[in-house]
Chain A
């Protein structure tokens, strides 16, 4: 051992200790900053708001790294856009909204720490939800422990409501309701046949697909493939191959963006013609989706949501304007997460401005009351005892010639004719 140490010392280059210390310290500092997760605080003051005195702190944990980083960024943009809009419209109780963000690295453990920190150290007055059911579930427990309302727009999986908490308020349509209009449309357009299903094991996507399966089975459709795959999956070719092998022409996928992109690409590579395809998430990511799968492969792909860039909701045009001017995102490519986060902020502000106090207990009580109705960019909002929004109107959207359009339910205003059957992959025209 001693011989080796001597040899190692002999072959090691001279070390400038001071340089090494500086480099080490710099590296450590940069790495802590770069990590972006955990305890790193990212305070975000919004644009100056004239005529407002004092401020109301609103805290959110957002996934700026990890599995949900793509959608975490758009969630943060949604909250920032709302704070700017709210401040331009009198703030909350005449005070300026100040957003405080913490990054959770998409970790259910870190999100718990973050909400505890937001409430006990940052002393935020209100908290709004993180991205995904997976993170909303544990964070809503923390908010409940500190008697805080948690208004959220991206955590509508059944497991959130199954907790029986009374402080959770989901402003979007619940997961189980999201694809119902699609499931009801299929029997009107197709005779009973094989339908392939696949879903990632998240508490949002899986129940959504299960609900469609139940409805279609009751109408005589046959389930050919049920692929459930873990969040960590990186190779989606076996899933695509299994679906192709089933021969099903109607495909229902409970996806997140990465697998949503990969499966469409795999079907396109195999020239596997389908007549109808819907994904839980992925196509809703706007430019990111277009860039990943290619413009001509987007045409005909459907997804459920309560908002699209041309939606007629309250302040919807302003949201589009903020996103295009402030975040330089094209109107047609704005992610639905932006609107979901924006809506959560809108509903929070409306409720607080109505009760004229920042007391969370009164806020929770009011939001549960029968006469509490709200307007948001996603449409009407009201809440059940468990915080679901039965007033929401979930739409099904479709990419048509480079644009996102609402296609279901067909009876609703602003809805255009569904493109059916879906054109072959690679034949959609650019918008």
Chain B
């Protein structure tokens, strides 16, 4: 039963990590940028939802109607203000730029909120469903459902819309996409916007399941990078599968053996997979035609 509990917890929490990692992998797919700011953007999303709940007493899930568009604009703006202006060594420079963006956001959050740990509260945070000895916290269940819905939306955008075709074309070959009339900059800006918007939703969910402060981003980004690398950079589905696989393995090892080995196993699985598939489980051998 303990193993089953570990599997259920792993799937539910894995869904949350998948949502947070989806933005990271999407941005890399289109722009070849490793968005080091994704961790702190998740925390920014959490703080925005936290503030809205405190100020208006609305349900935390409603706050994403405001925070997703707001953070979409932030991502869109960051692209045009910073990323698009990089002329040389764009991949390396953008990595540094996003690191600087992360530092700025962390500094602003430190000033605004201090280091005190906070958590987003709702009436159902302490409630859970009970099936025999299996316990399913409602907040994890809701988080998983929202993650699945948003991931579904991303799928629809990617595969059922004109913008999605443009985005996929840009992922495959930005130069060729430009030559056939796709506004690569607009697609890239929108992609960064979507990635940051997903961080807003992920942040709200993270803030309901754990206490957080600006420093919480460091533990997050390392886990998100592992998930995205394992799933294959650029693969949204891969991120989802990798997140669930990784967290299930971690939780099952933690409940059956030790939490220390649960954490270690998280990284051992990454090493093992990369020994045999450098492109990750779902990544393509050649990510992009140059």
Contacts and interface: CB of A to CB of B under 8 A. Distances in A.
A285 B85 CA distance: 45
A44 interface: no
Interface in B208-250: 210-211, 213-216, 218-220, 222-223, 247, 250
Contacts of B101: 27
Interface string A1-29: 00110011111110100001001000110
- The bracket for how many chain B residues form the interface is 35 or more
Contacts of A257: 117, 211
B279 interface: no
Contact of B175 (A7, A15, A67, A262): A7
A269 B127 contact: yes
Given A31-B107, A65-B215, A238 B251 contact: yes
A398 to B, nearest CB: 20
Contact of A15 (B85, B90, B139, B219): B85
Contacts of A13: 80, 84-85, 185
A237 B13 CA distance: 9
A284 interface: no
Given A233-B259, A269-B137, A270-B128, A27 B100 contact: yes
A234 B222 CA distance: 11
A332 interface: no
A52 interface: no
B140 to A, nearest CB: 8
B128 A4 contact: no
A269 B106 contact: no
Contact of B213 (A8, A28, A31, A70): A70
Contacts of B259: 227-230, 233, 238-239
B254 interface: yes
Interface string B84-123: 1101001000000100110111111011001111110100
A288 interface: yes
Interface stretch (B1-9, B64-72, B153-161, B190-198): B1-9
Contacts of B121: 291, 294
A201 B263 CA distance: 13
Given A28-B100, A73-B114, A257-B117, A238 B255 contact: yes
A230 B222 CA distance: 15
A238 B104 contact: no
A376 interface: no
A270 B139 CA distance: 12
Contacts of A3: 175
B106 A292 contact: no
Given A7-B178, A34-B104, A64-B115, A245 B1 contact: yes
A264 to B, nearest CB: 10
Interface in A249-288: 257-258, 261-262, 265-266, 268-271, 285, 288
A233 B263 contact: yes
- The bracket for how many chain A residues form the interface is 35 or more
B107 A33 contact: yes
A241 B255 contact: yes
Contact of B103 (A35, A70, A232, A270): A35
B126 A234 contact: no
The secondary structure that dominates the B interface is: helix
A390 interface: no
B131 to A, nearest CB: 12
Indicate the member of A23, A72, A269 with the most B CB atoms within 10 Å: A269
A201 B211 contact: no
Interface in A53-67: 63-67
A36 B214 CA distance: 12
Contacts of B216: 258
Indicate the member of B130, B135, B214 with the most A CB atoms within 10 Å: B135
B58 interface: no
Contacts of B97: 27
A115 interface: no
Given A73-B115, A269-B128, A235 B13 contact: yes
Contacts of B103: 31-32, 34-35
A244 interface: yes
B74 to A, nearest CB: 15
Nearest to A65: B215
Given A262-B210, A270-B135, A292 B118 contact: yes
Interface string B240-276: 0000000100110011001110110000000000000
A205 B108 CA distance: 31
Nearest to A76: B115
Nearest to A226: B258
Interface string A372-416: 000000000000000000000000000000000000000000000
Contact of A34 (B106, B220, B263): B106
Contacts of B110: 34, 36, 64-65, 69
Nearest to A257: B117
A268 B118 CA distance: 17
Indicate the member of A69, A241, A244, A285 with the most B CB atoms within 10 Å: A241
A297 interface: yes
Contacts of B125: 265, 269, 294
Contacts of B222: 232
A69 B214 contact: yes
Contacts of B218: 66
A10 B175 CA distance: 10
B82 A297 contact: no
B49 to A, nearest CB: 15
Nearest to B212: A258
8 interchain residue pairs of minimum CB distance: A34-B107, A69-B115, A238-B254, A229-B259, A31-B103, A7-B175, A269-B137, A73-B115
21 contacts: A7-B174, A7-B175, A7-B179, A8-B90, A11-B185, A23-B81, A27-B82, A27-B100, A30-B104, A36-B106, A36-B110, A66-B218, A234-B219, A234-B223, A238-B6, A239-B254, A245-B133, A258-B211, A262-B211, A292-B117, A297-B126
Given A27-B100, A262-B211, 4 more contacts: A13-B85, A238-B262, A270-B128, A285-B117
